[in-house]
Structure 1
Amino acid sequence: MMFEDTYDWHGPSSDPNDEQIGDIVSPATLDTGDDFDAVLVGEPYDGAVIGRKGAREGPEAIRTALEAVKSHHFDAGPLSNLGDLGNVTFDADADVSVVQDAVTEATREVYTNAHFPVFLGGDNSLTVANVRPLLDRDASVGVVSFDAHLDCREPTDGPSSGTPYHQLFDEGLDRLAVVGARHFETSTAYAEFISEQGGVIFTAKEVGRDSDQTIDFALDSLTGCDYIFVSLDIDVLDETAAPGVSAPTPGGITTRELFSMLRRVASDPRVVGFEVVECAPPLDQDGRTVRAAARAIAHALSGVTERV
């Protein structure tokens, strides 16, 4: 089985007028995926994490938090018509490269049979599997990565959560824009690698100065790309807002900045997929990281809603 149905969606409110996202998500299959404006896909895996583990519990916790989020956005209107394909099934004890290959088979099917996939991670290593199917197309592909880190280490000893963008550039990725990177959270060699590949880096300080302008600059840097994938490593948020990650650090962006940028970028018709990675519920405090991840998905979907 490629997907396993693991979640029973329902809105927990007793108020009949209080529509929640749990009320508008229906089970989906590859045969019905095209009927929905967007489909959720769980990827419960943290076998490639360099630091603290726990992200394999992300998909279920994010779903639980998301189902209680109200469906209405003041500007975009209500979300609707969402499906859930369940979790991708694979051998989580296999080598990371084997897991990446196995998940890639599943994500190829998702892109073929669904309008807009939202991947619920899981660790950052599966960004490779979520972007690879786009690289198979005869088109230019770019990624907007909301992340405190650059994740472009050379996979000398095999893939990890720190190697996805080195792998993707090796496999044909055309452009990368990193948004929210932290000073003193990377090495000079990795910053130079991104620059050498034609990528651009926008720091958390730049986001704080003007988040709308920053995301516009990021999208401008991907001019010429036919398809754009959006990756959210939840550690892009300041550690006060997202303590439940592998590597929480101070100096990150705020939830309000993130939500605004996600809606803005997701409204671009070139954006064809979205992921949330590195949300680790066992490391969280008061569920704040999981709640931030769930609302990030809602805000991204509000941008997609304006396109459909």
Structure 2
Amino acid sequence: MFRTAGAWDAPSADPNDEQFGDVVETTTVDEAGGYDAVLVGEPYDGAVIGREGAAEGPAAVRDALAGAKTHHFAAGAVESVADLGDVVLVDEDVEVVQETVAEAAAAVHETDAVPVFVGGDNSLSYANAAPLLEAGSLGVVSFDAHLDCRAVRGGPTSGTPYRQLFDAGLDSLTVVGARHFETSTAYAEFLDDQGGAVVTAERVDVDLAGALAAALDAMAGVDYVYVSVDVDVLDAAYPGSSAPTPGGLQPRELFRLVRGVAADDRAVGFEVVETAPPLDEDGRTVDAAARTVAHFLAGHHG
């Protein structure tokens, strides 16, 4: 089910520089419950609508995270994190991949650790979150430039995961960082019909605290919250994603928002998807994705 992760290594020679490479350990599903959080790589981009490259995301994000310091000024040092390795994928067909990933995700959700899925394209969001639907009512806070509520035509894609989740029983979806002129009216109306909410990138810029409150208000009444970050939520100055566009969030805004949602006691899973190293410049999108993982961990355990 999982390909064992390689040993983590911290690049700094300073003994005072505790980095994620110093503290992340490798583990198995049977031992995962001994950690607060576990990383799961998902190297697949066979369903991406836009540009490919996200299959290389897990390795690059791990490498960038290994060199990040563990200290958060408010939460202290992040600790108790392990790496399960990559989900083993033996077929490129997206429906088969979703089934394989959903089985692996279910096994991780059954442990006491919070899963941190590192993709991979956005089609995997369905597989990562779907097992939680069996545990109770579920809401998703999605940080994304797009709504990803397209109807499934001829097979799932990176644009269909939340339509699939609603069809499977998803209770609530809030999309934070969505941009004007990046979605179609039909999909906006679909989300509205489902009782979903949109918190635009403009609203985040004007009132970040209010945007965070609106995102969490839309989760009222659900038992569990799943948190998803598509790195195209960032401004196009961070080009290492399938579909970068102007007008997006800055990393500092994303970090604060993710920490705020992670601090909710109902947050039971996290993912960062669509990080495409071959499309990046100077590794800045990869670095932002890695630090988004760190901020989720700090918020969840702070």
State the partner residue of 1:276. Answer: 272
* Alpha-carbon offset, residue 92 of structure 1: 4.0
**Unmatched tracts of structure 1, length 5 or more:** none
State the partner residue of 1:184. Answer: 181
* Alpha-carbon offset, residue 114 of structure 1: 3.8
Confirm or deny that 1:148 pairs with 2:145.
Answer: yes
State the partner residue of 1:45. Answer: 44
State the partner residue of 2:235. Answer: 238
State the partner residue of 1:98. Answer: 96
SS in structure 2 at match of 1:113: coil
Instruction: List aligned pairs for 1:168-247, cutoff 5 A.
Output: 168-240=165-237, 242-247=238-243
Number of matched pairs:
302
Q: C-alpha offsets along residues 41-96 of structure 1, whole Å, 9 cap, x if unaligned?
A: 00000000011000000000000000000000000000011100000001242x21
Equivalent position amino acid for 1:288 in 2: R
TM-score normalised by structure 2 residue count: 0.99
- In 2, Cα distance between equivalents of 1:262 and 1:91: 33
- In 2, Cα distance between equivalents of 1:197 and 1:150: 13
RMSD of the TM alignment (CA)? Answer: 0.8
Match of 1:124 among 122, 132, 145: 122
Seq. identity, %: 60
Equivalent position amino acid for 1:129 in 2: A
* Alpha-carbon offset, residue 237 of structure 1: 0.3
* Alpha-carbon offset, residue 116 of structure 1: 0.3
Confirm or deny that 1:249 pairs with 2:245.
Answer: yes
Confirm or deny that 1:261 pairs with 2:257.
Answer: yes
Equivalent residues of 1:9, 1:25 under 8 A apart: yes
Equivalent residues of 1:47, 1:92 under 8 A apart: no
SS in structure 1 at match of 2:123: helix
State the partner residue of 2:110. Answer: 112
- In 1, Cα distance between equivalents of 2:152 and 2:264: 32
Q: C-alpha offsets along residues 223-246 of structure 1, whole Å, 9 cap, x if unaligned?
A: 001000000000000011x20111
State the partner residue of 1:12. Answer: 11
**Unmatched tracts of structure 2, length 5 or more:** none
Equivalent residues of 1:59, 1:120 under 8 A apart: yes
TM-score normalised by structure 1 residue count: 0.97
Equivalent residues of 1:151, 1:163 under 8 A apart: yes
